[in-house]
Amino acid sequence: SPSPVTVPHAKVAGIIPLLPLETRWPSVTRDPSPLRQYNGFWIPEMILKGGFTAVHSCFEPRPSDVFLSSFPKSGTTWLKALAFAALKRSTHPPFEGDHPLRHWNPHDCVKFFELDLSAGEFEALPSPRVVATHLPYSLLPDSITREGSGCRIVYVCRDPRDALVSFWLFMRKVSPSFTIQEAFDLFCQGRCTGGPQWLHVLQYWEASVRRPDSVLFLRYEEMLREPESHLKKLAEFMGCGFSKEEEEAGVVSAIVELCSLGKLKEMEVNRNGVNNWGTKNETFFRKGVAGDWSNHMTPEMAQRLDRIVEDALQGTGFTF
C-alpha cells in the first residue's frame, strides 16, 4: 500500500526515517542499500537521499533529451547499447574498430541519471543527451513528463518471471547464500528495487498509450525476436531514423550485431572490467533469452506470481 507520508519529491530526504523499510535484499554496491517504500514503490534509500533529490531539485531537462527507462534486469544494458549506437552513429559508425562500445560497458556510455550523474555532469552532456533511469514513471520529475516538455522516454518491459530470475541470479553473484525462495517472496510482495514490477511496467505502458509520441513502450521478448525492426522503431522515435542508404549499407544490422549479447560479452571490458559501483561488468550479460524462469522456478511459484500479477492488472487493459 502507498506510503501515508507525502512531501514534495525534492524534500523526501527529510522523511526517510518515516518510510517503510526493507533490508532483506543483498547489496550490489560497496555500501549496504536498504529499500524504502515511497509513493507505492520500493526505492534504494541511497537513491532517495542523493540522486533522487538532485534530479527533482536541480536537473534541467532539454526537449531533445531521451530517457531510457526500465525495471532492473529487463534489458536495460541492451537498450543502452542500442540507443547509444543509434544516436551517436554519425560520430561513431558501428563498423568502427574503436567504437566506444568496444571499449566501454554500455553503462559507461549511458549513465543512470539518479545514480551516476551530478546536476553539473548532466548539464555538461552534449545534446541530444541520452540517460537511463530505473525510477517509476510517477516518480520522474514533472519537467520530463509534462505535456510539451519535448523529452522522449523509451521503456523496456520484460516478463516478470524472467526479470525476477535474472534479478536473483545477479544478486547471487554478490551474495551466494541468497535463495530463489527469498527473492521470490520479496518480489511477489513488490519489495525489490523499483517494485512492484508490474506497477512499474503498468505506469509506463499507460503513459505510452496516453502520449505515444513521448513514450515508446518496448518488450524485451519482442526485441529478441525481431531486433532490427525494433532498432529502426527506436531510432525513428528518438528522431534519428535510418535512411534507405544507411539500411542498404548495413548500418542497422551492424548496430544489432555490435550490441548483441554474444558480441558485448566477448569484449575485454565486459569480461574483466568493473564499473563505478564496484560491480563486475560481466554480471550484466548472462543468457539473454525469454523463458529461462522455468529452469529456476517451480510451476507452483510461477502460478503464484502469475496470479498476483493478473489480479493487480485486472481492468487495466495491460497484459504481459
Query: Which residues, 6 or more positions from 46, have their beta carbon under 8 angstroms from its beta carbon?
Result: 29, 31, 33
Residues 43/193, Cβ–Cβ less than 8 Å = yes
Amino acid at 123: E
Using the minimum distance from each CB to ligand A3P, give the nearer residue, 12 or 187: 187
- Please state the closest distance from residue 64 (CB atom) to ligand A3P, in A: 24
- Please state the closest distance from residue 81 (CB atom) to ligand A3P, in A: 6
Cα separation, 128 vs 83, whole angstroms: 11
**Residue 139 CB-density burial (10 A; 0-12 exposed, 13-18 middle, 19+ buried):** buried
Q: How many chain residues are in contact with ligand A3P, going by CB under 6 A?
A: 22
- Please state the closest distance from residue 115 (CB atom) to ligand A3P, in A: 13
Q: Which of residues 117-176 bind ligand A3P (CB under 6 A)?
A: 162, 166, 169
CA 209 from centre of chain: 19
Binding flag, residue 197, ligand A3P (CB under 6 A): no
Using the minimum distance from each CB to ligand A3P, give the nearer residue, 53 or 159: 159
Helix (H) or strand (E) holding 70: strand 66-70
Establish whether 134 is a catalytic residue. yes
Binding flag, residue 285, ligand A3P (CB under 6 A): yes
Residues 41/200, Cβ–Cβ less than 8 Å = yes
Binding flag, residue 73, ligand A3P (CB under 6 A): yes
Binding flag, residue 75, ligand A3P (CB under 6 A): yes
In this structure, the number of other CB atoms found within 10 A of the CB of residue 103 comes to 13
Amino acid at 106: P
- Please state the closest distance from residue 20 (CB atom) to ligand A3P, in A: 25
Using the minimum distance from each CB to ligand A3P, give the nearer residue, 185 or 282: 282
- Please state the closest distance from residue 266 (CB atom) to ligand A3P, in A: 12
Query: Which residues, 6 or more positions from 76, have their beta carbon under 8 angstroms from its beta carbon?
Result: 68, 70, 132, 134, 156
Binding part of the chain for ligand A3P, among 61-69, 75-83, 108-116, 304-312 by CB under 6 A, reads 75-83
Residues 258/227, Cβ–Cβ less than 8 Å = no
Query: Strand, coil or helix: what is 45?
Result: helix
Cα separation, 308 vs 160, whole angstroms: 11
Binding residue for ligand A3P, selected from 74, 197, 214, 281, defined by CB under 6 A: 74
Binding flag, residue 178, ligand A3P (CB under 6 A): no
Q: Which of residues 242-281 bind ligand A3P (CB under 6 A)?
A: 259-261, 264
The single residue of 92, 107, 134, 200 carrying the catalytic annotation is 134
- Residues of this chain that interact with ligand A3P (CB under 6 A) are 70, 72-78, 81, 162, 166, 169, 259-261, 264, 284-288, 292
Q: Which residues are catalytic?
A: 134
